[in-house]
Structure 1
Amino acid sequence: MKTFAEIVSNFNPTTVETLQSKFVQGEKVVLFLGRATCPYCQRFAPKLANVVEADGLTIDFINSEEATQLESIQNFRHQYEIKTVPALLVAENGQVKVVCDSSLSEDEIRTFIG
């Protein structure tokens, strides 16, 4: 079984600032916000990785414990009402939707991403 770090190594590490600029440009963004020390993130990440691999998706990733970004992550979470991790965020054409539910199935993840 892969570790959390091995799983998220296939995602694109990013920053809040980079995401915000993608939002402004209207790009479709799929973001996984989580951390290695969260058991729910550990449960969710493999399912997300399976969807990403099967569907050829690109996923951005922010480690919610990244010390250099803590303040900007907190502000981002407040702005988009991200109460907990794991969080899956999809932004496109000025619309942002978020789900924080580690029990989602792969099909539910796929449907949410669109």
Structure 2
Amino acid sequence: MSNAHLRGAIVRAAGSMGSLAATDPFPGLTHGKGTYLTATFVKDAASVANPPPEPPQLHLTDVVGFDRAHGVLLTVTDNSEPGRTGGFMAWLERAYGKATTTRSWPTVQRLAARLSD
């Protein structure tokens, strides 16, 4: 995993993004309001517990897993009622610190496709 931390941004190498997108960590799920698929990139992947901590609002967010090779936490959140995600982002910050960045899975796929061109 190649990454850098520049002015608050976590940067991944093009090859790393491409191999992450190819893993299909959400088999059978489609990104939508009821299944909001996210990838949270963690600066210090080595510090993440195995298995990663579960969010307290299990009825709204499921941790799919932590992909240590790519330094990314993969989650599915029920976002069918906007604003009612049970404090998911606050939990992420408490559990993993501020050196993270979260993107929707479609955004990760688009970035990987653009970087492969």
Higher fraction of helix: 1
TM-score grouping bracket, smaller chain normalisation: under 0.3
Higher strand share: 2
TM-score relative to the length of structure 2: 0.27
